[in-house]
A and B are shown apart, each in its own frame.
Chain A
Amino acid sequence: MTMRIDFTLNGQPLSIAVDPLRRLADVLRDDLRLTGTKIGCNAGDCGACTVLIDGAQLCACLVPASRAAGTHVTTVEGLSSGGALSDLQRAFLRHGAAQCGICTPGMLMAATDLLSRTSAPTETEVQNALGGVLCRCTGYRRIIDAVMDANARPNPASPASGHAVGAAIARVDGRAKVDGSERFGADALPDAPFLSLRVIRSPHAHARFTLGDMAPILAAHPGILRALTASDIPGRNLYGIYPTGKDQTVLAEGYVRYRGDPVLALIGDEATLAAFDGSGLPIQWEILPEVTFATAHEGPDLHEHAPGNILCQGRVATGDIDAALATAAAHARIVVRTGFVEHAYIEPEAGFARRVGHRIEITACTQTPYMDRDELALILGIAKEDVRVIPTAVGGGFGGKLDLFVQPLLCVAAWLTHRPVRHVATRGESMMATTKRHPSRITAEAACDDHGLLTAFRFHGDFDTGAYASWGPTVANRVPVHATGPYRVPAARCTTSAIHTNGPPSGAFRGFGVPQAAVAGEALMDALAEQTGLDPWTIRRRNALGVGSVTTTGQVLGEGAALGECLDAIRTGFEAMRAEATAHNATSTTHRRGAGIACMWYGIGNTSMSNPSEMVAGVTPDGRVTLLSGAVDIGQGSNTVMAQIAADAIGIPVAGLHLVTGHTDLTRDAGKTSASRQTFVSGNAARLAGEALRARILLHTNAIELTNDRLALDLSHLAPDANGFVLRGEGRYDPPTTPLDADGQGIPYASFAFAAQCALVEVDTELGVVRVLRLIAAHDVGRAINPDLVVGQIHGGIAQGLGLALMEDYIPGRTDNLHDYLIPTIGDVPPIEVILVERPDPLGPYGAKGVGEPALVATAPAILGAIHHATGARITHLPATPDRVLAALQHRILAALQHRVLAAIRA
């Protein structure tokens, strides 16, 4: 049934005929094509779809279309007038308040509601007003700054030629993110009428199944045109991240290994597929016992190539660890457990595919267009040149959009039907079936001498890599290198196992296992400090790796290593936090404060593996200078960073550089957006391409004479190449590394980033609730190409680290939504002081190195250290939820009592 509804939309009167119960968000997006309003959950949990109705903010996903009748509806598209951004939108650009941009429309609308009532809101008023909108990138602080600074002040001018590097310019792709015009996965639509796709996934963690005849289902639902099964995959029904050991089926072949494994794909019209409740599907299940992290060693084996369910192991060993442990002055040991962590980007995976003759074209959100291309070619059984990947804007990635998700089935469906096919994952589907951070079970011990100098470190980490390998080998290889933390350790043995279970595949998530390892290592540093009578800062400073230090893999660190400077930078702040905690605790019994500190190091780029990037810069006959960049900006700002680097290398103002990004037909392979590598690796390629173009231009100017102090180069007689360039420069960079031997000795990374962070927390000792009050983060970034973007990365990483420490715990089958799976809200992230330590890395472009993952690693250990300082209780099972904190406090009190009673009995 439809109803005629008259309302005013962004100032324009409108009359539409619509199902009165249709969600307003769908009416806006699908019927009126105003895709600035985003859908993140369809359940009122994320606020991405916030619009104003008669000036009041509402989730458009919870508003029946009928409710719009007679009202004024305002969406993000209505904020700018005549092409001019509002003060609030400009403030968002000025403050870097939009990163990926998927939550930005919701944030803007909630803030517009607030500002219409209160022109100069306080921080608390901003938090209260925006508390219903989740953001996963920014850590919220810059959003608060922007809302509190929404005025007519002009945004800074773009820097002059040669001054782009180091300038805090607004992101070059920012405007589309604040005016609602950015196209994310679900916003991109095929030109022609299209089909939709719905994946039927296993509800069981481990099962065999047989498929019966699909004909009755197809007959009963005329809107379902076709059901795809494993036998429909044209090429290889197997994919995976690594070239060898591909283990994941596009559609399961009678056997599923996790809740969410795809079993069938239905192709049809969107409404039919959405309404189809799955009943009557001819699937016969034989449920098998679930292999869990605790039982994996008992079998059965989930993959033939992984006996004992051990996918792979990593190892770094140096020195005589047993001798060193036996003679140590102080010794500490810890066991740490962490769970699955969900990426919880606000944009669920989405895209569409279409067949163009003998080629396939996939438009979707992704972090890695070139790996997607190669993998999809294998699945379709076609040449990789016949796959064209067109990345949309990515509404948050964090590693989760490195794995194929919607792409394989879309490509197969479009290939077979010769029609465009679209798939927009629901929040539940995304959370159920995409990769997670690896759960871990870590045992570690460390020893030091009388002076607190580390003598030995032993570490073993089991990592639950879930049903499929995904990035499990990366975690297993990266963690042993980093496990000691950024300290000099003469004797170390660090090992890891990636273990298969019937959990969701654990893949890449900001830090590749290093954040979990740091929780153990930094707790050991605190324990050794206590035993040797040092404070937590001093023991870290004494052991800090620096220029010329030798790591446990035998690598001698170069000029870039600046952990000492990071520690020095936070010393005063950390001491002030300690003093504040002591003063507070003198008068408070129930709420105790504490300060914690943690350090981290992080190797930039792949571990001992080639990971080159290529860039092309060129000049078209009309004199336009273009950078063709295959680096995908997932919100972290690589588009802006590449533009700044290339502009300075060429010698033109950044505003004069035209950027063409990530599109496999037009750009070169710049690798994946992961491992904190884009600034360092692709940045170097952009610099080299820019320098090559500059050299090329200068070469042409040799024969020209100055006219009025200017050189004019006539481009019209030059023949354009395939890219339309008459002058071009190419750059390629692959970080110099060497393979690791059986003991993990070698040069795994060309560059390491370092950081020191400290946190002040307050623990409610009666309820176990922890509140983080303040954070200081000093990061060795080599050179901040764009300080604003770097600070934004650090804020966002810290917010995710805070979530890891205190609240995030994905439980398969139980937390597939954003109200049971908790991520930090705008009220949970405290003020953050960021200190950028800039000692140029000789290998980095203009001295720069990566910051994406380094931002997160130290935060959880600093918070856990602060809880320990506040209460004496060490939380070793993450997250530190109120019940776990309270249990740890009570355990500690009981242990102390027991100790006293025993002492009294002995006396």
Chain B
Amino acid sequence: MGRYLRPEQLDHALAALAEHPRIVLAGGTDFYPARPVPTPEAILDISALPGLSRIERRPQGWYIPCLATWSDVLRADLPPGLDALTQAARQVGGVQIQNAGTVMGNLCNASPAADGYPCALALDASVELASRAGRRMVKARDFMLAPRRTALRPDELAIGLHIPDPGGVSRFEKLGARAYLVISIAMVAVWLRLDGERIANARVAVGACGPRAILLEDLARSLVGQICAGAIVPPAHLACLTPIDDIRAPAAYRREAVGVLIRRAIHGLAPYASPGRILAA
């Protein structure tokens, strides 16, 4: 078996993975920076697999297949419920990175600062994994186990991201120290279902404030029933975050900034909230 494969059929790709573990190469934007010099690893280049780049509306929701890039997200006609993902796409690297990097690759790379995770969590997305043995779905929240480690088995390929019909509205806030090419100090994705001016349901996810992005479930519960434009974010609900001091910012700052980002994300959705109106799903 050669060290490099670029199959043109999914069956072949899965067969190759069943044979022995391989590094899966999609957009290359994380692959190459991690390998300043060539390595002897076995590589499975999935870029020639057909039918895996078109973002689709499906009966149960939206499907973002594994070769869909951030630019594909920007070109797709997505509803307000997926705004967070669109906003994240616009802020990943520069256009070159958006043109090459895939949403799924961002999740599989499993960086604590991956912009895709807070979105996937807030949108309650699931990752579809395929292998010769069949397919299975894993919730995005269960997919990343630790930095650089996912639930993906060596024989599996993460084939696509399913976002259940989200309805509602969402927003992404990213904090960095410059305008472009930002690696986040912290980022936040908020999804809300609004009932008139009040919050009927919420999911709040935070990235770069711990080994992996997490959902703030207590906070989300506390938001239910609040008026969107005036919702408060009690610091107690941020206690589960475990940010670290690093070159980008001290932990204490991250903790504080995240509260502001969440509040701004929620209040930023207030224009969608109006008395007596439920935003159509």
B181 and A21 contact, CB distance less than 8 A: no
Q: How far does the Cβ of B98 sit from chain A's closest Cβ, in whole Å?
A: 8
Query: Beta-carbon contacts of A839-858 to B below 8 Å, as 1s and 0s?
Result: 00000000000000000000
A886 and B45 contact, CB distance less than 8 A: no
Q: How far does the Cβ of B91 sit from chain A's closest Cβ, in whole Å?
A: 10
| Residues in B neighbouring A22, C-beta threshold 8 A | 38
Chain B stretch 32-58: residues in CB contact (< 8 A) with chain A = 32-33, 36-38, 43, 45, 47
A881 at the interface (CB under 8 A from B): yes
B177 and A807 contact, CB distance less than 8 A: yes
A61 and B32 contact, CB distance less than 8 A: yes
Question: Which stretch from B1-9, B135-143, B200-208 is at the chain A interface?
Answer: B1-9
Closest to A817 in B: B33
Question: Given A63-B100, A128-B95, A825 and B28 touching (CB < 8 A)?
Answer: no
| Residues in B neighbouring A828, C-beta threshold 8 A | 178-180
Question: Given A67-B47, A882-B175, A57 and B253 touching (CB < 8 A)?
Answer: no
Chain B stretch 68-86: residues in CB contact (< 8 A) with chain A = 71
A59 and B36 contact, CB distance less than 8 A: no
A824 at the interface (CB under 8 A from B): yes
| Residues in B neighbouring A822, C-beta threshold 8 A | 177-178
Separation of A495 and B108 alpha carbons in the complex (Å): 55
Separation of A870 and B138 alpha carbons in the complex (Å): 49
Query: Beta-carbon contacts of A15-30 to B below 8 Å, as 1s and 0s?
Result: 0000111110000000
| Residues in A neighbouring B180, C-beta threshold 8 A | 127, 131-132, 825-828
Q: How far does the Cβ of A39 sit from chain B's closest Cβ, in whole Å?
A: 12
**B36 partner, pick from A131, A426, A806, beta carbons under 8 A:** A426
Closest to B177 in A: A807
B256 at the interface (CB under 8 A from A): yes
Query: Beta-carbon contacts of A304-318 to B below 8 Å, as 1s and 0s?
Result: 000000000000000
DSSP majority for the B interface? loop
Closest to B250 in A: A883
Chain A stretch 14-50: residues in CB contact (< 8 A) with chain B = 19-23, 42-45, 47, 50
A131 and B253 contact, CB distance less than 8 A: no
Q: How far does the Cβ of A135 sit from chain B's closest Cβ, in whole Å?
A: 12
| Residues in A neighbouring B37, C-beta threshold 8 A | 274-275, 277
Q: How far does the Cβ of B241 sit from chain A's closest Cβ, in whole Å?
A: 16
**A57 partner, pick from B96, B178, B181, beta carbons under 8 A:** B96
Q: How far does the Cβ of B5 sit from chain A's closest Cβ, in whole Å?
A: 9
B247 at the interface (CB under 8 A from A): yes
Q: How far does the Cβ of B175 sit from chain A's closest Cβ, in whole Å?
A: 6
B32 and A825 contact, CB distance less than 8 A: no
B93 at the interface (CB under 8 A from A): yes
A887 and B6 contact, CB distance less than 8 A: no
| Residues in A neighbouring B109, C-beta threshold 8 A | none
Number of interface residues of B (CB under 8 A): 43
Most buried by B among A3, A20, A62: A62
B94 at the interface (CB under 8 A from A): yes
| Residues in A neighbouring B87, C-beta threshold 8 A | none
B14 at the interface (CB under 8 A from A): no
**A59 partner, pick from B25, B38, B96, B178, beta carbons under 8 A:** B96
**B38 partner, pick from A62, A132, A275, A827, beta carbons under 8 A:** A275
Separation of A767 and B32 alpha carbons in the complex (Å): 33
Closest to A824 in B: B178
B226 at the interface (CB under 8 A from A): no
Query: Beta-carbon contacts of B1-34 to A below 8 Å, as 1s and 0s?
Result: 0111010000000000000000001011101110
| Residues in B neighbouring A558, C-beta threshold 8 A | none
Q: How far does the Cβ of A863 sit from chain B's closest Cβ, in whole Å?
A: 14
A59 and B260 contact, CB distance less than 8 A: no
A20 and B96 contact, CB distance less than 8 A: no
Separation of A875 and B140 alpha carbons in the complex (Å): 42
Question: Given A62-B28, A883-B249, A21 and B95 touching (CB < 8 A)?
Answer: no
| Residues in B neighbouring A809, C-beta threshold 8 A | 247
Question: Given A1-B3, A428-B36, A129 and B95 touching (CB < 8 A)?
Answer: yes
**A43 partner, pick from B32, B95, B261, beta carbons under 8 A:** B32
Separation of A314 and B177 alpha carbons in the complex (Å): 36
A825 and B96 contact, CB distance less than 8 A: no
Q: How far does the Cβ of B28 sit from chain A's closest Cβ, in whole Å?
A: 5
DSSP majority for the A interface? loop
A44 and B4 contact, CB distance less than 8 A: no
| Residues in A neighbouring B261, C-beta threshold 8 A | 767
| Residues in B neighbouring A426, C-beta threshold 8 A | 36
Query: Beta-carbon contacts of A871-896 to B below 8 Å, as 1s and 0s?
Result: 00000000001110011000000000
B114 at the interface (CB under 8 A from A): no
| Residues in A neighbouring B238, C-beta threshold 8 A | none
| Residues in B neighbouring A887, C-beta threshold 8 A | 253
Chain A stretch 723-775: residues in CB contact (< 8 A) with chain B = 766-769
| Residues in A neighbouring B71, C-beta threshold 8 A | 56
B107 at the interface (CB under 8 A from A): no
| Residues in A neighbouring B47, C-beta threshold 8 A | 66-67
Most buried by B among A131, A807, A881: A131
B185 at the interface (CB under 8 A from A): yes
Query: Beta-carbon contacts of A348-367 to B below 8 Å, as 1s and 0s?
Result: 00000000000000000000
Separation of A859 and B47 alpha carbons in the complex (Å): 47
B99 at the interface (CB under 8 A from A): yes
B273 at the interface (CB under 8 A from A): no
| Residues in B neighbouring A129, C-beta threshold 8 A | 95
A42 and B36 contact, CB distance less than 8 A: yes
A886 and B3 contact, CB distance less than 8 A: no
A133 at the interface (CB under 8 A from B): yes
Question: Given A57-B95, A886-B256, A131 and B179 touching (CB < 8 A)?
Answer: yes
B178 and A807 contact, CB distance less than 8 A: yes
Most buried by A among B93, B99, B181, B260: B181
B175 and A769 contact, CB distance less than 8 A: yes
Q: How far does the Cβ of B88 sit from chain A's closest Cβ, in whole Å?
A: 15
A508 at the interface (CB under 8 A from B): no
B4 and A1 contact, CB distance less than 8 A: yes
B97 at the interface (CB under 8 A from A): yes
Closest to A811 in B: B247
Question: Given A1-B4, A42-B36, A132-B97, A64 and B28 touching (CB < 8 A)?
Answer: yes
**B249 partner, pick from A23, A428, A882, beta carbons under 8 A:** A882
B183 at the interface (CB under 8 A from A): yes
Question: Given A21-B38, A827-B179, A881-B177, A133 and B94 touching (CB < 8 A)?
Answer: yes
**B260 partner, pick from A274, A766, A881, beta carbons under 8 A:** A766
A20 and B185 contact, CB distance less than 8 A: no
Separation of A19 and B45 alpha carbons in the complex (Å): 13
Q: Return 8 A-B CB contacts under 8 Å, by A number.
A: A21-B38, A44-B93, A58-B99, A59-B100, A62-B31, A426-B36, A822-B178, A882-B249
Q: What is the interface of chain A, defined by CB distance below 8 A to chain B?
A: 1, 3, 19-23, 42-45, 47, 50, 56-59, 61-64, 66-67, 110, 113, 127-134, 274-275, 277, 426, 428, 766-769, 806-807, 809, 811, 814-815, 819-820, 822, 824-828, 881-883, 886-887
Q: What is the interface of chain B, defined by CB distance below 8 A to chain A?
A: 2-4, 6, 25, 27-29, 31-33, 36-38, 43, 45, 47, 71, 90, 93-97, 99-100, 175, 177-181, 183, 185, 247-250, 253, 256-257, 260-261
State the 7 A-B residue pairs at the shortest beta-carbon distance, nearest first. A132-B94, A827-B179, A131-B180, A883-B253, A43-B33, A825-B180, A59-B96
